Structure 1
């Protein structure tokens, strides 16, 4: 009888501990973000995030995929809808992955998309046109998921100017960069930056508060980053006492995410 009582008490303690661990706040967060890419590693990324119970922020552009479609087409819509249902956060990466190249007179910008019908062709855009490009990604996200995008964006390549950021801010978009240590290197050539080296560097240098950036597939990298590095990185950072949060919890972006959505 005493043994049974002791067993019940032990189970009660275990149950309490489990609840306590699950409810523990994320007091040393890092913010993992993914930009779109050729989507070849997207299923793996989703699997790892689910297994590790990590929420991230995705930045969406409609880029060419390995299967000949694009990252926001009908084939990928169910994938994005599933990620939205899991509670990740989403921002714009411009629909046609439009790179800023230079400021021009009269509040205009020289831009060059790497996707879409004008891929590879430079053209000038004013602030309103750039905002419309950001909005196009948000509308496509809503079409795919039924949810709304956060008013956050990442310029392709991180290339911006103060004038471009001001134009985006004027129409309600806030830019998100990344920490120096948070550049995970998945777009670097793998012969010079092997996965083991990138993992070691990230585990050594990343600190609480850092925004991390990776991609859902990089065309130029021969040895894909995500299969070798993503899960060991997450596990290793957790072992260092760090935890993962979305940009909805970041002190710089929290208010913007809570105050509005796009489109």
Structure 2
């Protein structure tokens, strides 16, 4: 890590349409910044999905650069409500059940987390971290407990770490988002952005990512992956867990 000891921030990138993924990778490589990617198999501008075969070489290159990976649920599946102690109403925003609500058991939800992790390991050759991020950050205490019971700790983001790339550019310009981030981010914050957002007309990454990195470094911050985060380090370093059994949906 570069920067002053104890002034680490943790940049995390969720999948998206992948249109800016090559640019973002170039910027990270140029500035020697390591991040944690949360992967789901989302619809993409080009290719067969963000975890499909067309994007596999891109992910493999990121592994070679030393980035970390974790699950974002395979079909970018949103938690909608608790139904019972171990059942949840969910709605995928990708895949064959896109837009359809279903009721899943806790083992089925664990399988959905594991499927993304397995795919990431298959295409990168690197074991993902035993972490996950629920789409939209939407969870419940029961969902978190179920996921933790099958080996996955949830990762959200810090209030100042919400970088705003999902917000409408008409009301939240890139310049405003950059200034807010540089003003508010503090040591230890987990930062969130995406590899492409469909709804934003003025894309975030081309304008903001590089000046954000350089601006934070000028303020004495360094960048680290979640493997080094004090909240998750001990969890990650526990003996390897058994992967949950696959269940049919």
TM range, smaller chain: over 0.9
Q: How does 1:45-84 map to 2 (within 5 A)?
A: 45-67=24-46, 69-84=48-63
Pick aligned residue for 1:178 from 131, 154, 157: 157
Match of 1:103 among 82, 88, 113: 82
Aligned to 2:246: none
Within 5 Å, which residues of 2 pair with 1:66-215? 66-67=45-46, 69-215=48-194
**Higher share of residues assigned helix:** 1
The verdict on how the C-alpha distance between 1:107 and 1:51 changes in structure 2, with shifts beyond 3 A counting, is: same
Structure 2 matches for 1:218-257, cutoff 5 A?
A: 218-257=197-236
Shift, 1:261, TM fit:
6.8
Query: Are residues 1:42 and 2:21 paired?
Result: yes
Distance 1:96 1:262 in 2: 22
Question: 1:262 Cα deviation (Å)?
Answer: 8.0
Residue 27 of structure 1: how far off its partner (Å):
2.3
**Distance in 2, Cα, partners of 1:106 & 1:262:** 23
- Residue of structure 2 equivalent to 1:216: 195
Q: Deviations over 1:9-52 (max 9, x none)?
A: xxxxxxxxxxxxx8877420000000000000100110000000
Q: 1:24 to 1:230 in 2, by over 3 A?
A: closer
Aligned-pair RMSD on alpha carbons? 1.4
Aligned pair count?
Answer: 242
Secondary structure of 1:76's partner?
Answer: helix
Unaligned runs of 5+ in 2: 244-249
25 and 84 in structure 1: CA distance in 2 versus 1, 3 angstrom threshold: farther
Q: Secondary structure at the match of 1:149?
A: coil
CA-to-aligned-CA distance 1:109-130 (integer Å, 9 cap, x gap): 0000000000000000111000
Residues 57-106 of structure 1: CA deviation (Å, up to 9, x unaligned): 00000000001520011110011011011111111000000000000024
TM-score of the superposed pair, with normalisation by structure 1: 0.89
Unaligned runs of 5+ in 1: 1-21
